[in-house]
Amino acid sequence: MPRSDALRNRAKVLAAAEAVLAEQGLTARMDAIAARAGVGVGTVYRHFATKEALWQAIVEARVDALLAEAERLRAEADPATAFFTFFGRIVADAAAKKAYTDGLRDAGIDVKDGQGRQIAAMRAAITGLLTRAQAVGAVRGDVALPEVLALLRGASLAAETGDFPPIALEVIVTGLRAGAG
Amino acid sequence: MPRSDALRNRAKVLAAAEAVLAEQGLTARMDAIAARAGVGVGTVYRHFATKEALWQAIVEARVDALLAEAERLRAEADPATAFFTFFGRIVADAAAKKAYTDGLRDAGIDVKDGQGRQIAAMRAAITGLLTRAQAVGAVRGDVALPEVLALLRGASLAAETGDFPPIALEVIVTGLRAGAG
DNA sequence: CACTATACGGAATCTCGATTCCGCTTGCTC
DNA sequence: GAGCAAGCGGAATCGAGATTCCGTATAGTG
């Protein structure tokens, strides 16, 4: 079993990294994270072999949180509400945590291994919510997963890199609804 | 006056840089550009003091092309066509030329000096097309420049980082039209 | 409380790509 | 076609940051 201080430090590093990455994105420096955690760089590396590993740990946690949210929304009575709430949640999440979406494409951090399962789960979750919403005529029938993902990616990236006004989001939502029922 | 070969090389570098940056984005290496141009790195630097300068030269040219397009569209009889054509053109442009949008935010390359005028011109052009489209009831009245820019940025970034299906674009267009007239 | 196996801090090292430098070429002038 | 300034190629230099290393500190154990 790990020493108690090691456990404590691991948590501190994770929290610091989450905060720093949220505000600075991928360019955040390792020493900045270490400093924020009140720890030496060496310690950061003892817990996470590389910057990418640390990054992945955080993104994974984030995605898990979103998946949990999706799970919760499956219980929602109104499919339209469920779908659009999830859509908005992802965008809001991206706005708050910089470079969240970056992680999925930028050099270095590729979609791989363990994350593969998460990606699959996320796609499944979105497809589920989408299908239900379309079934009740709340979303136009000619959009499928690729379109939703593209819109999600776009809105998230926009939110990360600057302002994404509520009305802009509403335009997309309206567009998705239009002529559906 | 510059020597003839210098002129020739400058053009070669510019073309190579455009191509390389289009496919690799900001992370493209200077030697890759030099190699593509069939020239030594030193030559690249003699013509463009820094990577950023080279980058700016290219982006500026691109923006000028878009501005020219906007100018042309001002003559278009149907304001709706003019506005949506321009919107689509920008997104298509971004899809073809990677990291085009990046340039406007990523570290290093900041919006400054000379580009400032271009930015202003672009905002003016979009505002003009938007206002006209709204005047004839082709675009909902509650969206303004910030919303359009956010949507444009999102769609462009999405197109740059992956696929942006036609239907996704149509969703946005529909959303902009909805309930306008 | 002594003893270690674990952890720690953070300076030193390594890596990678931008930028500089300089001896060699080549276009242009007379 | 000789002279030379403008250009060129590309190896060497720099800088920024990630990663490693190792002497020191400390939790856990008897």
Residue A171 · residue A178 · CB < 8 Å: no
> What is the rounded (10 degree) CA torsion for A69, A73, A79, A85?
-40
Share of chain B above pLDDT 90, in %: 69
Q: How far is the CA of A81 from the C1' of D18 (A)?
A: 45
Q: Give the list of residues 6+ apart from residue B62 with CB closer than 8 angstroms, or none.
A: B93, B97, B100
From the Cβ of B132, is strand D under 7 Å away?
no
Q: Within 7 Å: CB of B32 and strand D?
A: no
Chain centroid to Cα B95, Å, comes to 10
pLDDT at residue number A25: 86
pLDDT tens digits for range A42-76 = 999 999 999 999 998 998 888 899 999 999 999 99
Average pLDDT score over residue span A29-40 = 98
pLDDT tens column, B54-107? 998 998 888 899 999 999 999 999 999 999 999 999 999 988 887 666 544 443
Looking at residue B180, its pLDDT comes to: 66
Long-range Cβ contact pairs of B103-109 (< 8 A, separation 24 or more): B103/B26, B103/B55, B103/B56, B103/B59, B105/A161, B105/A162, B106/B26, B107/A27, B108/B26, B108/B51, B108/B52, B109/B26, B109/B52, B109/B55, B109/B56, B109/B59
Distance of CA A40 to the CA centre of its chain: 28
pLDDT of residue B120: 86
Measure the CA–CA gap between A84 and A70, rounded to whole angstroms.
11
Among A26, A106, A171, pick the best mutation site for testing chain B contact (most B Cβ within 10 A). A171
Percentage of chain A beyond pLDDT 90 is: 70
Give whichever of A83-87, A154-158, B54-58 has the largest mean pLDDT.
A83-87
Tokens 């590729």 identify what position? A110
> CA gyration radius for chain A?
18
A64 touching B, CB under 8 A? no
Joined tokens for residue A108: 């270095």
CB contact under 8 A, A165 and B146: yes
* N-to-C CA span, chain B: 59
Distance CA B91, CA B163 (A): 11
Q: Report yes or no: B33 and B16 within 8 Å, Cβ to Cβ.
A: yes
**Residue B33 and residue B40: Cα distance in Å, rounded?**
9
Q: Within 13 A of B70's CA, how many CA atoms are on the CB side? A: 20
Residue B154 has its nearest CB partner, among A140, A155, A179, at: A155
Cα separation, B75 vs B86, whole angstroms: 13
What is the Cα–Cα distance from B82 to B72, expressed in whole angstroms? Answer: 9
As given in the structure block, the two tokens for residue B171 are 């969703």
- Residue in A150, A175, A178 closest to B158 by CB: A150
Nucleotide at minimal C1' distance from the A47 CA = C7
Residue B45, CB, strand C, below 7 Å: yes
- At residue A107, what are phi and psi to the nearest 5 degrees? -40, 180
Residues 6+ apart with CB under 8 A from A97: A18, A21, A22, A62, A160
Which residues of chain B does A176 touch, with a Cβ-Cβ cutoff of 8 Å?
171, 175
Nucleic strand D near CB of residue B3 (< 7 Å): yes
Please judge whether A162 and B27 are an interchain contact, meaning their C-beta atoms are less than 8 angstroms apart.
no
Number of H helices, E strands in chain B: 8, 0
Q: What's the rounded Cα separation, in Å, for the pair A60 and A115? A: 7
Q: Please report which confidence band the pLDDT of residue B113 belongs to, taking 50, 70 and 90 as the band edges.
A: very low
Query: Does residue A22 reach within 7 angstroms of strand D, measured from its CB?
Result: no
Separation in Å: C17 C1' and B12 CA: 22
Average pLDDT of chain A, as a whole number: 89
- Cβ of residue B30 near strand C, that is under 7 Å? yes
pLDDT at A164 over 60: yes
pLDDT higher than 60, residue B114: no
Give the pLDDT mean for B106-129. Answer: 69
pLDDT at B59: 86
In this structure, which amino acid lies at residue B98? K
Please list, in sequence order, all residues whose beta carbon lies within 8 angstroms of the beta carbon of residue B73, skipping any fewer than 6 positions away: B82, B85, B86, B129
Among chain B residues, the shortest Cα distance to A147 is held by B168
Q: Taking the C-alpha atoms of B58, B61, B65 and B66 in order, what is their torsion angle to the nearest 10 degrees? A: 60
CA distance B125 to chain A (A): 19
In whole angstroms, C23 C1' to B42 CA is 14
Query: Residue B84, Cα to own-chain centre: how many angstroms?
Result: 16
Residue nearest to nucleotide D27 (CA to C1'): A3
Structure-derived torsion over alpha carbons of residues A71, A72, A74, A78, reported in degrees to the nearest 10: -160
Chain A closest-CA separation from residue B106 CA (Å) = 9
Kindly give the interhelix angle for A51-74 and A4-24, rounded to the nearest 10 degrees. Answer: 80
Top residue of A153, A163, A169, A176 to mutate, by most chain B CBs within 10 Å, is A153
CA A77 to mean position of chain CA atoms: 24
User: Does the CB of B44 have a partner CB in chain A at under 8 Å?
Assistant: no
Residue B3 CA and nucleotide D4 C1' are separated, in Å, by 14
> Could you tell me the two tokens for B91?
């997104």
Higher pLDDT, B93 or A116: B93
